[in-house]
Homo-oligomer: A and B are copies of this chain.
Amino acid sequence: MYCRITSTPIDPVELLRRVRTNEDGAVLLFTGAVRNHDAGRAVVGLTYDAYEAMAANKLEEICEEVSSRFEVGEIAIVHRVGELAVGDVSVAIAVASPHRDAAYKASRELIERLKREVPIWKRERYTNGDETWLEGFSPQAPKTD
């Protein structure tokens, strides 16, 4: 398991290498990248902010839970912070698995939970110079404490 918040460019190939073993028949790699448009506006880049220490912990917790629910091998997740340009990879998730069904399900659950639970934020920068923090998901507080 390899979960990191990084301020340097993400190398998806390194993630593929990290997760694959000879036990695995399938490796699924998800990469999210900065698009040149959002909700009809021309985008020049995204600035990611994170509560880094908590984000890394939360990623590990999510990886452990997903690992225990699906028959997967190694998982690697890296999320980038700082100023990204169009085309830059913001997040990469690699899941190795003996069988593909588990890899697809685990990968999808990882990205959905990351987006809903991990304390990371993004500020969109537009061609006209405007910037705005994007709307996100309110994380659920634990029921009891």
Chain A residues near B (Cβ < 8 Å): 12-13, 16, 20, 22-37, 86-87, 98, 100, 103-104, 107-108, 111
Contacts and interface: CB of A to CB of B under 8 A. Distances in A.
B16 A26 contact: no
A11 to B, nearest CB: 10
Contacts of A23: 35-37
Given A23-B35, A23-B37, A29-B29, 5 more contacts: A12-B16, A22-B36, A25-B34, A29-B31, A104-B104
Nearest to A87: B22
Contacts of A37: 23
A51 B96 CA distance: 29
Nearest to A20: B33
A29 B103 CA distance: 11
Given A22-B35, A25-B35, A35-B25, A30 B87 contact: no
Closest 4 CB pairs of A and B: A22-B36, A29-B29, A25-B35, A27-B31
A108 B108 CA distance: 11
8 contacts: A20-B87, A22-B87, A25-B34, A26-B33, A28-B31, A29-B31, A100-B111, A104-B107
Contacts of A36: 22-23
A32 to B, nearest CB: 6
A98 B39 CA distance: 11
Nearest to A91: B26
